[in-house]
Structure 1
Amino acid sequence: MTEPRSALAHPEGPAATAQAAGAATARPDRVGWFVPGRVEVLGKHTDYAGGRSLLAAVDRGHTVEATARDDDLLRVTSTIARETIVLRLDGEDPAHRAPGHWSGYVRTVAGRLHANFPEQLRGADITIESDLPLAAGMSSSSALVVGLSMTLLELGGIATDPRFLAEVPDRERLGEYLGTVENGQSYGTLAGHRGVGTFGGSEDHTAMLCAREGRLLQYAFCPVRFEEQVDFPEDAALVVGVSGVQAEKTGAAKDRYNRVSMSAREILGRWNGATHRDDPTLGDAVASSPGAPARLRTLVEGDAYLEGRLEQFLVESELIVPMALKALRAGDVREFGRIVDLSQYHAEKGLGNQTPETMRLCTLARMMGAHAASAFGAGFGGSVWAMVDRAGADDFAREWIDAYAEEFPAVGDAATWLVTRPGAAAHGI
């Protein structure tokens, strides 16, 4: 008998085997998923604007396990928050918790899946465990969206349903769909619903779903397109320094994040208005003709923030990401470090999303001998990655964070670190 195809199956690696076995049961009563965090090596705020990124998963993440219920409730326990919440299957919260509570992500996922597949979504008892630092820039929130979604899609048999597969046939399209689950936009015939309030893209979801162990992946977005990959140097490690400044996407932090996102839309709006085109993303506008970048610069002239934002996008997406991959492929670590420094410069000057803490972490890492270092994620706090020699990675990490904590004692106690290498994608357990 031919097993039903599943949009959750990874095309290679251990996840493919795990999901092939699970796909034979259309509506299992118990499911479990591990979803890693991610490191955005390069590609700062490029994905939702139709640009490209260089991505990797890490070896830490969320473990989400669920058992089906016979009613229309979701009973979700977070071992990190040490809290259990109960929501209706449509995502409504009888407790009316305040905005910013982690239950908001559960409400978003449940509400969207219920809106798109109301007859198939099942109630469940769900447990979430994690060894991923929260609000640290490794996209713990998107990992929660992915983990909850994968669990509920499999539990309800939605992942093998022909209606779902018509829109979401593979993991790359799944990354796009889950990006819209988070931001509230529609995806094909799957109508949008309440998002979490941030205007982000699908970079994080794609990295978590499509990562390949030991490799960095170059993806372009809107739509998601795999472009290239490169082996991460065998003798190197990624040390992630968590600044202690939480990279939240709620409250005032959400407004700052959305300013960066909305500025790309503002530039695109000026372009489409002036050219009478209907390009869907800034990346499409740039690709429309050889003279497009110069025309775009003219259109934002006089607006200091938009000028810097446009230049950051052009340099990051069109030059830095492909040049960095080329340098790693050639084994030129020094050149890779120079290119990464340029990315960090444009984040500080163009995006304006860096804090004194993340900027200093980058500087200290380079001063202490890291081959490359960059802040990553939404910004306004979070983490910095440093590429160092694998043999001395732990010693480097301790000395790096100790030096940082001496300079920033107010957040030094919350600063921490982990040593990792590019890890595997989300997989069934």
Structure 2
Amino acid sequence: MSSSDLSALWQAFEMFSPGSKTDVRMFFAPGRVNLIGEHTDYNGGHVFPAALSLGVWAWVRPRQDGIVRFYSQAFPEVVEARVDALDSATGAEYARYPMGVIDVMQKQRSFAFAGGDFFYYSNLPNGAGLSSSAAIEVVTGCAVRVLAGENVSNQEIALISQKAENEFVGVNCGIMDQFAVAMGQANKAIFLNCQTLDHRLVPVALGDYRLVMTNTNKRRGLADSKYNERRAECEAAFARVKHLGDGWANLADIPVDMWSTVAAALADTPNLLKRARHVVFENHRTIEAVKTLSAGDLLGFGKLMNESHVSLRDDYEVTGEELDALAEASWEVDGCIGSRMTGAGFGGCTVSIVAAEQLPTFEAHVKAQYARRTGLTPSFYVSEIGDGAHELQKEAFAQ
């Protein structure tokens, strides 16, 4: 963030919450991109997300009157509520996410929180599948942790944020987004088992390549309904085959060498067979992708990314015309070694690994091909892999 941008944001914050700079704290939580392992999280499988250098900043001024106030530059409406009556508060929809975090922290974790003014700024595109909702949840949790004087880990903040989204907002999300936002590290991705939360940080050495997110700029109108539908289909598929294995707890536990047996049991339900096939092989691909990347084989990793998109397109059927157009145009560019949809699907973004010297060619080709096929104009975001949520030093903003 440039000094001029920071100065303008500080002025906007002071208009929202006048007072001394000395009692204001500033926090940051990144967006995330999932490099591979899509729709495996709620099936108990592995994912491989990374935190971005793009994200959500929060300026927070503590209060002592039991009031919370929220303002976002993306949704310029002040939302005000009492900390002891958040479940009955009204206002802009975005405020439900931070309110949910505060509600869980107070009611279920017994945090003593006296209120605050929360001012949010984001350079993440809204609705693009880069986890802006998880970022605003986690950055709020980090702020409340500090203001309430509680000693909880970033992993606990991630779990609190997921619980808030599930129970307060009413979105039945898995843990991946909040976990990546809270626990990321620069130049590393997180190999996460979503069932056990076992995880390790894996170096991502891109060298002369860059991480590019390409936004379809199409609202993800079908994402929520299809997400719920796919979850139900996966549950139905597993219910039919779980007796075939020893101790299988979910679809992702099914080893690929058992697939022919599982497929035979699902042969009379083609849709369930396809959904299960994606989960089983995507989980396997994710495990293999981490091995491939750890061995320094970036080209092999890119090939697995491409295979992931094909599976999401043909078996899980969550890509749609726009994401397919982006991925297929990306595959045509020399210097793009891998590209796939990331997120829930039906809009949002692709993630690609592109040679730095080919970035102008990549953007020009993908833009032209995408416009030809869809009539839409994509947006491109080149990001580094950054750190997870943290407080910023006052020197960084209180000039």
1:96 shift after superposition: 3.5
Rounded to whole Å, the distance in 2 between the matches of 1:291 and 1:146 is 39
* Pairing 1:52–2:46 present: yes
- C-alpha deviation, 1:146, in angstroms: 1.1
Superposition pairs of residues 48-197 of structure 1, within 5 angstroms: 48-90=42-84, 92=86, 96-97=90-91, 101-118=93-110, 120-158=112-150, 160=151, 170-184=153-167, 194=168, 196-197=169-170
TM-score by length of 1: 0.79
Stretches of structure 2 that go unaligned for 5 or more consecutive residues are 1-21, 393-399
> For residue 286 of structure 1, what is the aligned residue in structure 2?
254
* Secondary structure, aligned partner of 2:53: strand
Question: 5+ residue gaps in structure 1?
Answer: 1-27, 185-193
> TM-score, normalized by length of structure 2?
0.84
Which position in structure 1 is the counterpart of 2:397? none
SS state at 1:42 partner: coil
Partner residue in 1 for 2:191: 218
Please list the CA deviations of residues 25-72 of structure 1 after superposition, one character each: whole Å capped at 9, or x if unmatched: xxx964321111111010101112211112211111000121111122
Percent identical residues: 23
1:258 and 2:228 aligned: yes
Indicate the residue corresponding to 1:23 in structure 2.
none
Output the CA distance in 2 between the equivalents of 1:213 and 1:395. Answer: 27
1:136-177 deviations in whole A, cap 9, x for unaligned?
01011111111112212221123x1xxxx5xxxx43444334
- Equivalent position of 1:21 in the other structure: none
Which residue of 219, 232, 237 maps to 2:210? 237
Alignment partner, residue 344 of structure 2: 378
2:372, 2:66 → 1: CA distance? 52
1:326 to 2:288 alignment: no
AA in 2 matched with 1:257: Y
Q: What letter matches 1:255 in structure 2?
A: S
Instruction: Quote how far apart the aligned CAs of 1:371 are.
Output: 0.8
Change (3 A) 1:399 1:212: same
Superposition CA RMSD, Å: 2.6
What residue in structure 1 maps to residue 179 of structure 2?
206
1:10-29 counterparts in 2 under 5 A? none
Q: Per-residue deviation at 1:346?
A: 0.8
Kindly tell me the number of residue pairs found equivalent between the two proteins: 370
Give the CA deviation at 1:307. Answer: 0.9
1:427 corresponds to? 390
CA gap 1:97/1:375 in 2 versus in 1, 3 angstroms:
same
CA deviation string 1:88-141 (max 9, x = no partner): 21453666448xx21222332232223214551231111000111110010111
Are 1:339 and 2:307 matched, yes or no?
no
| Cα pair 2:244 2:262 within 8 Å, conserved | no
Between 1:335-344 and 1:135-144, the stretch displaced more is 335-344
Q: In structure 2, which of residues 357, 365, 376 is the aligned counterpart of residue 391 of structure 1?
A: 357
Offset at 1:276? 11
Match of residue 354, structure 1, among 319, 339, 342: 319
Superposed structure 1 runs of 4+ greater than 6 Å apart: 275-278
Change (3 A) 1:56 1:407: same
Q: Who is 1:15 aligned against?
A: none
Deviating more after overlay: 388-397 vs 128-137: 388-397
CA contact (8 A) 1:31 1:154 kept: no
* Residues 109 and 175 (structure 1), Cα distance of their counterparts in 2 relative to 1, 3 Å cut: closer
Distance 1:361 1:104, change over 3 A: same
- 1:407 corresponds to 2:373: yes
